[in-house]
Amino acid sequence: MITVAVPGKLYIVGEYAVLEPGSAAVLVGIDRQVRVRLTPVTSAGPVARTITTNRAPGRGVEFIRRGSGFEPSPATTADSAGLSHALAALAIVDRYAVESGCEPVGFALDIDSQLDDSATGRKYGLGSSGAVTVAVVRAAAQAYGLPLDPATELKLALLSVFSVDPYCSGGDVAASAHGGWVYYRTPDRAALTTALARHDQELGALIRRPWKHLAVRSLPPPRALSLEVGWVGSPANSSELVAAMKQSVRQHRSVYRQFVAASDRCVEHFATACRSGDDHAVEVALNTAGRLLRDLAAVSGTAIESPELSRLRCLAEELGAVAKSSGAGGGDCGIALIDPARAPILRQRWRAAGIEPLRLRVHKRKESIR
């Protein structure tokens, strides 16, 4: 049996702007994980696969090899809808493996995500689709006996998520693949998905060539600041928020361009401050990133900092900390950077205000990818 565990993520700075090719964000991989277990299965008939998840225990979805792909067996078609990221990851790895001369393999795949609260089913917004994608790419490549270097794994996982949603930046994939504090610059997704759709193009060649803009680098964490995470109790749908932002940006093109430029500067300041161990500059950059998002929300009419996220931030600021929404906003989580000695009181105040402090730690990182 092959077992892999991949961390979830949290955005620190750079949200929304990182959707523009060449723009960057900073994220962290966290110590809540998606676990994938893969058991190879050989059968006399067509190659078959079963996928089970802890979201729908006991309701496995079966896929049978037909032509050059896999199709859900008719009895389970309806259940395959929630598996889009896992299926996209398998399709990419299959294509890559078959090109490398491998025969398709059959297996039973079990996906167990700890990123949501399993007891209550609450969604915290810790990036399960990116983590599932990385975990499935890693496990399936091992099933084929194909060793993936970190850059190849990252690119296969990015192509998988871009093929499901061309409007996601891939930041969650970078954080989940890499772990730790991560600086991520997004490639030109439109160019990549066009190249991917051309089946005459060898996937291996697309993976091997350098991708313009793409960068994933480890950052040292702030020296003496504690990263605190609060869940405001309402799940948010990032794709809907991103779609609403795209819509409203059409009327505010120059404001959006200015936002992206300012966000990029802020992300660079944040990264430089981490590298030089300047916690004060880290705080200034995080504060600026939050303000830029609030200004963007005000102009675009979208709700990035919900009233609950605003409360989370104000409670942190009252204790001298810096805080902001994390990710697309509208709900999910907010983050604060605070003197560790004051973290317990911040958690207490958040709890009193109905905000759940999440006891997350940053996941250990790998070496720089490129």
| Total of chain residues touching ligand PMV, rule CB under 6 A | 15
Interaction of residue 181 with ligand PMV, rule CB under 6 A: no
Cβ proximity of 80 and 87 under 8 Å: yes
The Cα–Cα gap between 225 and 319 comes to: 13
Q: Which stretch binds ligand PMV (CB under 6 A): 94-102, 288-296, 324-332, 358-366?
A: 324-332
**Binding partner of residue 130 among ligand PMV, Mg ion, none, CB under 5 to 8 Å per kind?**
none
**Binding partner of residue 15 among Mg ion, ligand PMV, none, CB under 5 to 8 Å per kind?**
ligand PMV
Interaction of residue 238 with ligand PMV, rule CB under 6 A: yes
The Cα–Cα gap between 125 and 8 comes to: 9
In angstroms, give the least distance from the CB of 362 to ligand PMV: 15
Per the listing, tokens 């989940």 go with: 176
Interaction of residue 127 with Mg ion, rule CB under 5 A: no
**Binding partner of residue 18 among ligand PMV, Mg ion, none, CB under 5 to 8 Å per kind?**
ligand PMV
Question: Of 363, 326, 362, 367, nearest to 217 (Cα)?
Answer: 367
Q: Which stretch binds ligand PMV (CB under 6 A): 11-19, 90-98, 204-212, 285-293?
A: 11-19
The Cα–Cα gap between 101 and 178 comes to: 28
In angstroms, give the least distance from the CB of 2 to ligand PMV: 28
Q: Which stretch binds Mg ion (CB under 5 A): 52-60, 65-73, 125-133, 198-206?
A: 125-133
Q: Which is nearer to ligand PMV, 171 or 221 (CB)?
A: 171
Q: Which is nearer to ligand PMV, 152 or 169 (CB)?
A: 169
The Cα–Cα gap between 96 and 146 comes to: 10
Q: Which uninterrupted H or E stretch holds 13?
A: strand 2-13
Tokens linked to 239:
């794709």
> What DSSP line would sit under 92-124, residue for residue?
HHHHHHHHTTPPP--EEEEEEE-SS-TTT----
Q: Which uninterrupted H or E stretch holds 272?
A: helix 253-276
Interaction of residue 297 with ligand PMV, rule CB under 6 A: no
Interaction of residue 327 with ligand PMV, rule CB under 6 A: yes
The Cα–Cα gap between 298 and 282 comes to: 25
Interaction of residue 125 with ligand PMV, rule CB under 6 A: yes
Contacts of 96 (CB under 8 A, 6+ apart): 141, 146, 156, 203, 204, 207
- What residues from 143 to 162 belong to the interface with ligand PMV (CB under 6 A)? none
Q: Which stretch binds ligand PMV (CB under 6 A): 167-175, 268-276, 289-297, 342-350?
A: 167-175
Interaction of residue 327 with Mg ion, rule CB under 5 A: yes
CB nearest ligand PMV: which residue? 327
**Binding partner of residue 169 among ligand PMV, Mg ion, none, CB under 5 to 8 Å per kind?**
ligand PMV
Q: CA angle 153-85-111, nearest 5°?
A: 85
With CB under 6 A as the contact rule, the residue among 16, 183, 211, 256 that binds ligand PMV is: 16
Alpha helices in 165-237 (DSSP H): 171-178, 189-197, 203-208
Residue 2: count of CB within 10 angstroms of its CB: 16
Cβ proximity of 71 and 63 under 8 Å: yes
Interaction of residue 23 with ligand PMV, rule CB under 6 A: no
Residues of the shown chain interacting with Mg ion in the complex, contacts defined by CB under 5 A: 125, 236, 238, 327-328, 332
Residues of the shown chain interacting with ligand PMV in the complex, contacts defined by CB under 6 A: 11, 15-16, 18-19, 125, 127, 168-169, 171, 238, 242, 327-328, 332
